[in-house]
Amino acid sequence: MTRQFPTTAEHLEAAHEMATTGRPTLARLLAEEAADRTDSEEEATRILRDFTGRTLRTER
Number of residues assigned to the chain:
60
Phi, psi torsion values for 54, nearest 5 degrees? -75, 150
- The confidence band for 43, taking pLDDT boundaries of 50, 70 and 90, is very high
pLDDT band at 42; cut points 50, 70, 90? very high
Do the domain assignments include residue 3? no
Average pLDDT on 20-42 reads 94
Question: Can you state the angle between helices 8-20 and 24-37, rounded to 10 degrees?
Answer: 160
Supply the pLDDT for residue 53. Answer: 78
**Are 25 and 56 spatial neighbours (Cβ–Cβ below 8 Å)?**
yes
Domain assignment of residue 46, yes or no:
yes
In whole angstroms, give the CA distance from residue 33 to residue 8: 8
Measured between alpha carbons, how far is 22 from 39 in angstroms, rounded to an integer? 29
* Residue 1 forms part of a structural domain: no
Query: What domain range is 27 assigned to?
Result: 8-50
- Say if 57 falls within a structural domain: no
> Is residue 59 pLDDT above 90, yes or no?
no
Give the pLDDT score at 60. 54
Q: Is position 28 within any domain?
A: yes
Instruction: Quote the pLDDT of residue 55.
Output: 80
The whole-model pTM stands at 0.83
Q: How many domains does the chain have?
A: 1
Report if residue 40 sits inside a domain: yes
